[in-house]
Amino acid sequence: MDGERAPVMADVARVAGVSHQTVSRVLNDHPNVRQTTRERVLAAIRELGYRPNAAARTLVTRRTRTLGVISFNTTLYGPASMLYGIEQAARQDDYFVTVAALAALDRRSVLEAVDRLRDQAVEGIIVIAPQTSAVAALSTVPADVALVAVGCGTHASLRSVAVDNEAGAERATSYLLDLGHRTVHHLAGPRSWLDAQEREAGWRRALTRRGAPVAEPMVGGDWSARTGYERGREIAADPAVTAVFCANDHMALGLLRALQESGRRVPDDISVVGFDDIPEAEFFGPPLTTVRQDFDEVGRRALRALVDAIDHGPVAGGMPRLSIEPTLLVRSSAAGPRS
């Protein structure tokens, strides 16, 4: 494209009247460089618009300062937010982030993505794909890349960061119970996701602790508003249901819609609580009471865990499962049952 090639270290050295090694020292902040020399070199760098060749540096230092993020569907609010949090944190630690979107949910895709990232010599990988199968697949990955899973249950042998889904679900369910409902139904997420399993477990625990009857959860949800709507039509047809805890906000939206179509009022006839606190939840009709997850923070912590693993080897401090406490956000989609 452009005629002359980009300047290299030797060019800078020539202009500054030093050896290329001195330029290297300036670039790498070595202590023993005279102040005046340093300035001369920096001036030359600016003059030539020099930028170090990352490949050459990588070749000799064996470090790419690149991290990989594997994510199933970056379109969902959760994964997208985490990616954002990760990138911000990575920048501060001077790492690049390359992404690998998963084509499918199976073990093969996950391993392919890992492989792809390893080809690029990433120093570590964060996996945002909290399916049971994905976690299982991850355990077969050779230990020469640091790995951190996000929201991947308590599976040992893998460093992970997660929101305490169970606690959040329990809190939401208890809240509905406190409001006076005899029991709470659950619109569950996909069983293959750990988050869904944990939320269901939290819901179940709250119910059994209080001695409330545990109805079969509504299954078939895939996190989308559409499936929330589909299950919602069945829920709307069942007059026994007075309170529903949804596995996430999107499904809650679908449920709200189905309820409205059936003429069942929220919260007068049925109370609804979601999970995630997506930015839109506040503007649902009615505003959704939900459990807030700090995705950004999850992303940041995942990054920190990964950088730790890279810096101090894989076993430093065991395999901590960092857990973030979610909080209940009360809005108007839940109330006591009609007396």
Q: Which does 22 bind (CB under 5 to 8 A by kind): a copy of itself, DNA, none?
A: DNA
Choose between 77 and 173: whose C-beta lies nearer to a copy of itself.
77
| 254: contact with a copy of itself by CB under 8 A | yes
- What the block records as the tokens of 121 is 């010599």
Which stretches of the chain bind DNA, using CB under 7 A? 5-6, 8-10, 17-25, 27-28, 31-34, 36-37, 52-53, 56-57, 59-61
Shortest Å distance, C-beta 282 to a copy of itself = 7
| 24: contact with a copy of itself by CB under 8 A | no
Binding-site member from 30, 51, 108, 265 for a copy of itself (CB under 8 A): 51
286 sits in the region (left: phi over 0; alpha: psi -120 to 50; else beta) called beta
Q: What phi and psi values does residue 168 have, to the nearest 5 degrees?
A: -60, -45
Binding to a copy of itself by CB under 8 A, coded x per residue (else -) over 135-154, reads --------xx----------
CB 119 within 8 A of CB 305: no
Q: One-letter amino acid identity for 217?
A: P
Nearest alpha-carbon partner for 273 in 296, 256, 257: 256
CB 74 within 8 A of CB 99: yes
Q: How many CB atoms lie within 10 A of CB 161?
A: 26
The strand pair at 185-187 and 327-329 is best described as unpaired
Q: Which does 108 bind (CB under 5 to 8 A by kind): DNA, a copy of itself, none?
A: none
Shortest Å distance, C-beta 331 to DNA = 54
96 sits in the region (left: phi over 0; alpha: psi -120 to 50; else beta) called beta
Interaction site with a copy of itself (CB under 8 A):
1-2, 6, 51-56, 58-59, 64, 66, 73-75, 77, 80-81, 83-84, 87-88, 91, 96-101, 103, 116, 118-121, 143-144, 224-226, 228-229, 250, 253-254, 256-257, 260, 279-280, 282-285, 287, 313-314
